[in-house]
Amino acid sequence: MTTHPKTRDLAHRLLAYEAVVGKTSEPSESATFRVYEKLRQGLGEFAGVAGFQSLASRALVLAKTEAPSLSAVRVAADGSLHGLGEFEHQMDIDRDRAGESPAGQGGVILIARLLGLLLIFLGESLTLSLLRIKWPEAALNDCNSENGRSA
Amino acid sequence: MSTQEKVKINKLPTGVPGLDEIVGGGLPEFSFNIIAGAPGSGKTTLAHQFVFANASAERPALYFTVLGESAIKMLRYQQQYTFFDPAKLPDSIRFINLSQVVLEKDLGAVLEEITREVEKANPAVVVVDSFRTLVRKPQSDMDLQSFIQRLALFLASWQATTFLIGEYAEEELRDNPIFTVADGLFWLRQTAERNSIVRKLQIIKLRGQDSVPGLHTFRITDAGVQAFSRTFGLTARKRNPPGDRRLSFGVPELDEMLDGGVREGDSVLVAGSSGTGKSVLATQFIAEGINQGEPGIVAVFEERPEAYAERATSLGLDLETPQKDGKLTILYLRPLDLSVDETMQSILDAVEKIGAKRLVIDSLAGFEMALSPGFRADFRESLYRMIFALTGIGVTILSTVEVDESFTEFPFSTYSISFLTDDIIRLRYVSIDGQLRKIMVVIKMRGGNHAKDIREYEITSKGVVILGKRLTEYQGLISGVPVHSDRSDSKEEPSQGPGTGKKR
């Protein structure tokens, strides 16, 4: 069970957007961290801390099956992501070697899993509406909803 | 102070079909309302409908969720309703979860959080779902009543119309100080009666305007909550004074018996046992109306509209063309679990849609059977309300009712609904000269000088045909077993085949 290509593409776009923005604002933070934190803030507002924490935990478990490099990462009780530093450090090395996505495959998979769960529970329209709160500038259209079980 | 200087309370659309009528035209702006009821009674859905109907980017709605239902799951389910417009999120409608504040802090902190968000967003609508969970938190520094009072005061000052949603059992209604704070109290009930679910709502209190009292049935469909006002939305309509115009049945002899026809706006009951031609007469009535340019509605419960129209064709009456032309609607109302008011709303909608002047309900027994068992107790009362409402706007109603044929009695109706009708036409079998024949009599005609004649009739390929003059040679016709007035002179006539009748 892997993430839908469209969902991965959406994750890619958010990570790419934050990679560019992050270079000027908080260059010390990784794109994955920035995207995750924005999702935590945005979703936490209406789903609550516990609501977001359970969703993020599920996304991480699913992501680890695809990206074992995330094994050290964990979701804390307040929904924040821990252990991302070590993962990001290794990922930066790998990324530089391969010339890949600004977040590497693990970051894309984690964010895509989280978005996939949102698409399953809320559908495309509502998910994109929620994402636009935190990314009003980003182009987020044309994301086909999975609406199924393939998170 | 003159009446012109009184403050005008704007009425906001509830977004719930039928509810505006019940609350007296809309919900008072800036009112502080409580929606109470058991879990699953539709409280959240009703609040969502109000939010989606009134929120705008300029004056958004804030929807605070506390504990209980997960916000993600709530949105997952609520978006299935047709009123849910995702485009309104997040600019016009914002969902804010307060569960962490409730869990970690106290009611004072909850109030502070709500205050902060309201001051930031300047909302037109605020919902707290469910505020009842707040009271279950122990060791609060503020009791719930005080919390509600302060919240009500604050939100009214901020010009927000507010809904608090709470799970309450029926017995908690009495002497509850929290309810005294509210301007409006909406109580939703859901009970299982035999195999059916009966949903009813009551406006227990609504300050500032007249709401329709009593229990109103409602249904939750994919369009959300739909309420059915006990007044069917006709309270604002002006009643037409009874006119003198007579409506023809398309049966000249019967029109003559009715002193020229049924008076426009009357309620007519055609009562008789099975096979006496009640439906045939009803079909002739509606077909004649269409001939006269009067659109009609037929509400059928015992056969499909196609079958009804086909049967009319066999009588030489075309019900297909007027249906295509929008002059006739045949409503098939057979699904079980209907409430009376819901069924009647369907009829009223159809009447309004085509501007119907004549309505046939065929039959009242079928109508009653189509209802959820829990609603059958309300049948007579609801029927009365509908007949009163429809005849008041000039619609002439013909209802058929089956009565048990008795050869010792002459009942008008097993439903004891004679009082609902202006005119009663009774059809019955009689045993005459070794044949089962049919007679017709006008029992009652309010405000009219109807004939007292008992007439024999037959059902032919042209419908109901009244034969000859009144039956004078028999005594005791209405008993069903008459005797010839002059038995000594009578001679038994030879047996005649069906439909041939007696030559006169």
pLDDT in tens, B287-331: 999 999 999 999 998 888 999 999 999 999 999 999 999 999 999
B-chain residues near A51 (CB < 8 A): 70-72, 97, 99
A-chain residues near B96 (CB < 8 A): 45-46
A-chain residues near B72 (CB < 8 A): 47, 51, 55, 121-122
Q: Is the model more confident about B368 or about B266?
A: B266
Bin B251: left if φ > 0, else alpha if -120 < ψ < 50, else beta: beta
Same domain, B158 and B66: yes
Token digits of residue B329: 């609607």
Report if residue B360 sits inside a domain. Answer: yes
Residue B141 CA: distances (Å) to CA of B135, B147, B161, B179: 11, 10, 26, 21
Same domain, B196 and B315: no
Per-residue buried b or exposed e for A125-151, using 16+ beta carbons within 10 Å of the residue's own CB? bbbbbbbbbbbeebebeebebbeeeeb
> Minimal Cα–Cα distance from B67 to chain A, Å?
10
* Structural domain boundaries enclosing B332: 246-484
Q: What is the pLDDT confidence band of residue B370, given thresholds at 50, 70 and 90?
A: confident
**Contact (CB<8Å) A129/B90:** yes
Q: Taking Cα atoms as reference points, which of B189, B164, B188, B157 lies closest to residue B178? A: B164
Token digits of residue B145: 């009543």
d(CA B168, CA A99): 61
Same domain, B324 and B209: no
Query: Percentage of chain A with pLDDT > 70?
Result: 74
Q: Taking Cα atoms as reference points, which of B279, B325, B275, B317 lies closest to residue B298? A: B279
Neighbours of A64 (CB within 10 A): 18
Same domain, B146 and B24: yes
**Contact (CB<8Å) B72/A51:** yes
**Contact (CB<8Å) B86/A129:** yes
Same domain, B250 and B220: no
Same domain, B282 and B141: no
Interface test with B, best of A38, A40, A46 (most B CBs within 10 A): A46
> Minimal Cα–Cα distance from A95 to chain B, Å?
35
Same domain, B126 and B270: no
Q: What is the pLDDT of residues A29-65, one digit of tens each?
A: 789 999 999 999 999 888 888 889 989 999 999 999 9
> Minimal Cα–Cα distance from A34 to chain B, Å?
21
Nearest chain B alpha carbon to A118: B72
Residue ranges of E strands in B282-422: 296-300, 328-332, 358-362, 396-402
Token digits of residue B85: 């417009």
Q: Is the model more confident about B201 or about A89?
A: B201
Q: Taking Cα atoms as reference points, which of B15, B6, B18, B8 lies closest to residue B125? A: B15
A-chain residues near B48 (CB < 8 A): none
Nearest chain A alpha carbon to B64: A46
Token digits of residue B227: 């309420």
**Contact (CB<8Å) B86/A123:** yes
Indicate whether B481 pLDDT > 80.
no
DSSP tag of B495 = P
The H-or-E segment that residue B127 falls in is: strand B125-129
Nearest chain B alpha carbon to A48: B97
Q: Taking Cα atoms as reference points, which of B458, B497, B496, B502 lies closest to residue B484? A: B502
The pair phi, psi for residue B148, each rounded to 5°, is: -65, -45
Beta strands B215-221 and B196-206 are: antiparallel
Q: Taking Cα atoms as reference points, which of B46, B21, B18, B42 lies closest to residue B33? A: B46
Q: What is the pLDDT of residues B187-245, one digit of tens each?
A: 999 887 766 778 899 999 999 888 988 889 899 999 999 999 887 766 555 666 667 88
Count of domains observed in chain B: 2
Q: Is the model more confident about B499 or about B143?
A: B143
Report if residue B240 sits inside a domain. Answer: no
B-chain residues near A45 (CB < 8 A): 94-97
Q: Which residues contact B423 (CB under 8 A, 6 or more apart)?
A: B258, B262, B263, B266, B267, B268, B269, B442, B444, B445, B446, B448, B450
Same domain, B223 and B276: no
B-chain residues near A50 (CB < 8 A): 99-100
Q: Taking Cα atoms as reference points, which of A131, A106, A114 lies closest to residue B89? A: A131
- Radius of gyration for chain B, computed over Cα atoms and rounded to the nearest angstrom: 29
Token digits of residue A14: 């958010």
Report if residue B128 sits inside a domain. Answer: yes
Q: Taking Cα atoms as reference points, which of B100, B168, B81, B78 lies closest to residue B130? A: B168
B-chain residues near A131 (CB < 8 A): none
Domain end marker among B198, B228, B258: B228
Q: Is the model more confident about B497 or about B45?
A: B45
Same domain, B219 and B254: no
Q: What is the pLDDT of residues B12-49, one digit of tens each?
A: 999 999 999 999 999 999 999 999 998 889 999 999 99
Residue B368 maps to which CATH number? 3.40.50.300
Same domain, B167 and B291: no
Show me where the domains of chain A are located: 5-134
**Contact (CB<8Å) A51/B86:** no
Nearest chain A alpha carbon to B89: A129
Same domain, B21 and B121: yes
The pair phi, psi for residue B106, each rounded to 5°, is: -125, -175
User: Within its chain, how far is the Cα of B263 from the centroid?
Assistant: 25
Q: What angle do CA A62, A67, A70 make, to 5 degrees?
A: 85
Interface test with B, best of A126, A127, A128 (most B CBs within 10 A): A126
Please provide the distance, in angstroms rounded to a whole number, between the alpha carbons at the two ends of chain A. Answer: 7
Q: Which residues contact B292 (CB under 8 A, 6 or more apart)?
A: B247, B248
d(CA B208, CA B315): 57
Nearest chain B alpha carbon to A44: B97
Q: Is the CB of A26 inside 8 Å of chain B's CB atoms?
A: no
B-chain residues near A39 (CB < 8 A): none
d(CA B379, CA B341): 9
pTM, full prediction? 0.74
Bin B337: left if φ > 0, else alpha if -120 < ψ < 50, else beta: left
Q: Is the CB of A125 inside 8 Å of chain B's CB atoms?
A: yes
Same domain, B21 and B131: yes
Nearest chain A alpha carbon to B62: A46
